[in-house]
Amino acid sequence: MSQAPEPRKTLDPDQVAFWLARHPDFFVGREGLLQQLKVPHPHIDGAISLLERLVIDLRQRAETAEGRLEHLLETARHNEAQYRRLRETLLSLVEAEDRDTLAQALAVQLSEHFQTPAMALWCPSSLSDEEPTPPQPPRHVLNQHASARLAALLDGRTSRCAKLSVSDWKCLLPHTKAPRRAGSCAISRLSAGEQLGYLLLASPDSNCYRASMDTLFTEYLSDIVARLLLRLEHHG
C-alpha cells in the first residue's frame, strides 16, 4: 500500500520578508529574477512587474511630498500676510492721539484687513474726570446694563466666541444696523492690571465666530488696546 504524499511545505511570508531584509544582496547576479517577479497593481485588477510597481510607488511618494510642500508654502504665505496685516494694524493704533481715534482706527483696520463687519470698544469714562464731549462710535462708555450683558456673554472667561442675539446686538453695537436674526461675536476683556472694559467683534453671520474657534488673536489685540488706553489716559 502506497504512502500518502507528504503535504507540501510553504514558507511563512513574514519569515521570507525578514530574510530578504537581512540579505539585501540576494538579487545580485539574479537580475533576471527581478524582471520575472509580478506583483498586484495598486489601483486595478491584474499584475505588473516589480519595476513598474516601484515606479508607481515613487510617483505617488513624489506627489505626496509635493502636496505637503505646497501646503507648507501656502501656510507660510498665509502667516506672512497675517503678520503684515497685524503690523499695519498695530502701527495705526499706536499713532492714535485719543481714545476715540484709537477705536476708529481699530474699526477701520479690522474691517479692511480682517473682514470684521462690526466692532465696539466699551470702556469706562475717563478715570481722571468726566469727558468734555460724548464718546464717538465705535467707542461707548460702559454702563451698568451693557456691562451686565458683556459679562454674561463672556461667561466668566477672558475671551470667548459666542452667538449674539438681535437684542444684544442692538444694545452692544448701537452705532450699527442690527441684523434680522442672531449673529455671532468674539468678545474679550480689556485689562492691564485693572478692568478697562471690553472689545467686541461681531458679524451678522451666526457661523462667523463659533464657540470652538481659538481666541488668541482677539486676546492679543485686547492686550494691546488695553495698554494703549492706559497710555492715553495718563498722557491725555
Rounded CA separation 50/150 (Å): 67
Question: Within a 10 A sphere around the Cβ of 45, how many other Cβ atoms?
Answer: 6
Q: What is the CATH number for 140?
A: 3.30.450.40
How much is the pTM? 0.72
Residue 62 belongs to some domain of the structure: yes
Band of residue 11 on the pLDDT scale cut at 50, 70, 90: confident
Is the domain of 104 the same as that of 207?
Answer: yes
60 plus 117 within the same structural domain: no
Whether 88 is in a domain gets the answer no
Do 69 and 120 have their domain in common? Answer: no
Q: Are residues 217 and 103 in the same domain?
A: yes
The verdict on residue 2 lying in a domain is no
Residue 5 lies in a domain: no
Strands (E), the chain: 38-40, 47-49, 118-123, 139-141, 159-164, 183-191, 195-203
Q: What is the pLDDT averaged over residues 177-204?
A: 94
The residue with cell 479692511 is 112
Residue 78: count other Cβ atoms within 10 Å of its Cβ: 10
Q: What is the extent of the structural domain holding 181?
A: 95-235
Dihedral over alpha carbons 60, 62, 68, 73 (to 10 degrees): -150
Shared-domain flag, residues 112 and 218: yes
Residue 8 lies in a domain: no
Q: Is 26 within a domain?
A: no
Residues of the chain above pLDDT 70, percent = 92
Mark whether 135 and 42 lie in a shared domain: no
Residue 215: Cβ-neighbour burial (10 angstroms; 0-12, 13-18, 19+) = middle
